[in-house]
Structure 1
Amino acid sequence: MKTKIAVTVGLLGSMLLLYYSASGVSSKEAFINGRISTVLSPLPGQLVLADEVAPGHVVTAHQPLGSVMTTQANDQIPGLIAQKNTLEIELAGLDRQISGLDRRLQVYQGQQRQYVAESQTQQQLGEKQSAATWMQLKEELSAITAQAAFSKQQFRSYEDLYRQHVISRIEYEQRKSDTQVMQASQQAKAAELHQRLLDVSAAKSGLQLTGPRTLDAPQQNQRDLALTIESMKQERLQLIARQQATTQSIQEVATLLNSRRQAVLSSLSDGVIWDVGEENGASVQPGSPIVRVLDCRTRWVEAFFDEADADRLHPGMKVTVHLTTSSREQWSGTLKTLRAGSGRIVVGERDVQPPPEIARRQLPVKVLTAHIEIQWKETPDPASFCLAGRSVTVNI
């Protein structure tokens, strides 16, 4: 009988030990945390918030939430106003210069078209004149050639008459000398005519073989005017570059002036408005918190465990998380960091310390604070503030 009791006691002890070793670790307290960014007032002044700015309102990154109208004197504003006025006067002067240059260019380009037309007419007339001169020279050359042939034939007749003793030797020599002079003159005239034919042929192609290169009046006017127009176009490009630079400077000064008069408040990230620190129309100072925005894409779980479970916890462990009020919604997560301490924590803080009620209940015992990354199944409803602050239970 005693043996049976001993066996039974031993079996119960083994079962209790097995149950204890198989049982998991659960968090004492845990909640869903999230990153909260604060929009601060950059200027002293009066706050003007947009109508839709209220807790629970969905916002996007860089979305304007309102503005702060400065109510204090700023020494930079008069200087910026004077600088802006000076730049605007300079811009007006550049506009007038460009307009005047455009009108002059229009006139010169009209003259250029006129000179081009005159040059074309001059060229056509020159081509006709060259053609007529070419025909005339060609006919003169033919006449000279015929005269040269006749002179040769006439000289041969004188030779026959001399051999027949019809004319004396003196007369023959005189006739011979006259014929040679005439032939030399005819050859010189033929060479001159041939050169003039070459000049006319070159002129028809716009070339010049002899003499200094010259341009007719329309061509010279056209060339001079083309250089003037090109110079004016370069001047116009420089004026336009100065105009663009001045316009950019005016915009920069205007932006700086507006920033000294009024500052636009905008969200730093996508999310939902967590709370509004100041009322519409309130007087605010630089650095005053205006709006806090919860980033629903950056959330995690802060969990607190009994320090007695320290040996059973280590970073990298897989955990399951569910809402304390409902176990139907569960998420998987990974234990990233562990630290010990006592104190408090609120939503939006990363410096994790346990809440005061745990410190009061377990005054002699410290707790472990765990930072847990969660694999969220879907984006929660922003109207519920993405579940930030909801109590959860973490099981390992």
Structure 2
Amino acid sequence: MEKPIKRILVGRPTTKFSIAGAALAAMAFLFYSGMKVSSKEAFINGRISTVLSPLPGQLILTKVIAPGQSVLAHQPLGRVATTQANDQVPGLVAQRSLLEIQLAEIKKQISGIDRRLQIYTKQQQQYLAESQTQQKLGEKQSLAILTQLKEELRAIKAQSAFSKQQLQSYKDLYHKRFISRIEYEERKSNNQVLQASQQAKAAELQQRLQDVNAAKSGLQLTGPRTLDAPQQNLRDISLMLENIKQEREQLIARQKATSQSILEVTALLASRQQAVLSSTFDGVVWDVNAENGASVQSGTPVIRILDCNTRWVEAFFDEADASKLRPGMSVTVYLTTSSKITWQGTIKTIRAGSGRVAVGERDVQPPPEIARRQLPVKVLTAHIDINWKDSPEPASFCLAGRSVTVKL
């Protein structure tokens, strides 16, 4: 007998559970793939400036200049002493000599003016003393004249009073017919003359008082407007001294200008004979391109300086991750030799097909090892700004060139 065939029914999952499973799988895949986005290669980059020789000559470096040495902005790193003839040097030497001769002549003129000022100042003091003496004598003379005028006025007043009394007596005698009218009129006229003299003398005394008060202030009210000899001499020598002082100030200005010109020509001459080498910023010596004592030409690279305050990270990613990278994205940077040392950064720019492979370099091709492993696959170069939490360490070149890993 034939055995009956057993049918086994296989159940099918519902559509609801199939869609949910696919979605979870997709999310897990995206999350897992996103977590695995990391750089193929990355390193710390920094700005490097090259100190060039400004003129041909012999290089003389300071003893402390060596890779890893900290330097300050404008710190002398060495100098270049020219060993070639320069056509400008003889002209500059002659120009400086001419300026020095002019400066010596100006100083000689200033010395002569100082002697003249000393002599004229003493003479001015003498004239001033004479003028003061003359003024005191004039005041005494004016006081004597005032005293004399007062006495004369007092005498006239007395005569006028006596004449007035006599005139009254003569008037009575005239009315009584003891004297003639002619004699009475004569006495009356004399009395009027005395009164007029008294008024004139009083006016003269008042004018003299005003002259004395004006003279004390150095003014003159009456007479021709002239000065006495001491005052005239004092005024003349004062004007002369003022002119000499102005001449001296002009010479002092010329002296300062000539001295400044000598300094400028000396500095220019020194720059033609030797030049000092220095950095324009604080940093660390990256390398020394020329040996101490070597002959260099104008424009020869001598020293390269790393700017520890201007550092960033260059990271290379697979181009397949291009859709997962964008400027402004936050990343974590790990030091390759120590995963405990991390920094937070932000992607600034992203470009494809080119990158930076050495500290301080600009436009170069991707690292050879990446190119060999991934040819013909292109790579993405990401410029990442880092929030450096530690101060730069010049002895370790501020970690420039150290390998790091960048992860999203």
TM-score, normalised with respect to structure 2: 0.89
In structure 2, the partner of 1:324 is 336
- Out of 286, 300, 308, the position equivalent to 1:288 is 300
Cα 1:146–1:11 change in 2 (3 A) is closer
- Judging changes above 3 Å, is the alpha-carbon distance between structure 1 residues 2 and 13 closer, same or farther for their aligned structure 2 residues? farther
- What is residue 4 of structure 2 aligned with on the other side? none
Q: CA deviation at 1:112?
A: 1.8
**Unpaired runs of at least 5, structure 1:** none
Counterpart Cα distance in 1 of 2:178 and 2:333: 151
Q: Measure, in 2, the Cα distance between the counterparts of 1:349 and 1:163.
A: 142
Match of 2:358 among 346, 357, 374: 346
For residues 376 and 277 of structure 1, the distance between their equivalents in structure 2, rounded to whole angstroms, comes to: 29
1:220-299 superposed matches below 5 A = 220-299=232-311
Aligned to 1:53: 65
User: What is the DSSP-based 3-state SS (H/G/I as helix, E as strand, rest coil) of the residue aligned with 2:349?
Assistant: strand
Kindly indicate whether residue 92 of structure 2 is the aligned counterpart of residue 73 of structure 1: no
Which residue, out of 116, 124, 141, partners 1:129? 141
Rounded to whole Å, the distance in 2 between the matches of 1:189 and 1:15 is 136
User: Of 134, 155, 159, which residue of structure 1 is paired with 2:171?
Assistant: 159
The CA deviation string for residues 5-58 of structure 1, in whole angstroms up to 9 with x for no partner, is 999999998776444311321000000000000000010000000000000000
Letter in structure 2 aligned against 1:268:
T
- Equivalent position amino acid for 1:20 in 2: F
TM-score (normalizing by structure 1): 0.92
Give the Cα separation in 2 of the matches to 1:4 and 1:369.
Answer: 52
Q: Work out whether residues 45 and 283 of structure 1, in 8 Å CA contact, stay in contact via their aligned partners in 2.
A: yes
| Alignment check: 8 A CA contact 2:356 2:362 kept | no
Which whole-Å deviations, capped at 9, do the CAs of 1:262-308 have from their partners, x for residues lacking one? 01000121110000000000000011000000000000000000111
1:141 to 140, 153, 156: 153
Q: 1:28 to 1:143 in 2, by over 3 A?
A: same
Q: Greater CA deviation, 48-57 or 162-171?
A: 162-171
Tell me whether 1:22 sits opposite 2:34 in the alignment: no
Counterpart CA distance in 1 for 2:209 and 2:19 is 139
Kindly indicate whether the alpha-carbon contact (under 8 Å) linking 1:340 and 1:367 is maintained by their aligned counterparts in 2: yes
Q: 2:369 is matched with which residue: 346, 357, 361?
A: 357
**Unmatched runs of 5 consecutive residues or more in structure 2:** 1-7
Q: After superposition, what is the alpha-carbon deviation per residue over 1:200-241, rounded to whole angstroms, capped at 9, x for unaligned?
A: 444345432211222222222221111111111111111111
1:379 aligns with 2:388: no
8 Å contact from structure 1 (residues 320, 330) kept in 2: yes
* 2:75 corresponding residue in structure 1: 63
Question: Do the aligned residues in 2 keep the contact of 1:315 with 1:338 (CA within 8 Å)?
Answer: yes
- Find the aligned partners of 1:204 and 1:13 in 2 and give their Cα distance: 121
Q: What is the aligned length? A: 396
Structure 1 outlier segments of 4+, above 6 Å = 1-16
Q: Considering only aligned residues, what root-mean-square deviation do their CA atoms show, in Å?
A: 2.6
DSSP-derived class of the 1:64 partner: coil
CA distance in 2, matches of 1:39, 1:214: 78
Query: 1:343 touches 1:359 (CA, 8 Å); kept in 2?
Result: no
* Contact 1:130–1:204 (CA under 8 A) maintained in structure 2: no
> 1:147: Cα distance to partner?
1.1
- Residue in structure 2 matching 1:308, options 317, 320, 324: 320
1:177-188 matches, within 5 Å, as 177-181=189-193, 183-185=195-197, 187-188=199-200
CA contact (8 A) 2:53 2:301 kept: yes
Aligned equivalents of 1:325 and 1:4: distance in 2?
Answer: 55
Taking only the aligned residue pairs, the percentage that are identical comes to 70
Rounded Cα–Cα distance in structure 2 between residues aligned with 1:171 and 1:119 = 57
Shift in Å at residue 189 of structure 1? 4.6
1:259 CA displacement: 0.4
- Which residue of structure 1 lines up, in the alignment, with residue 5 of structure 2? none
Cα gap change, 1:214/1:353 in structure 2, threshold over 3 Å: closer, same or farther? same
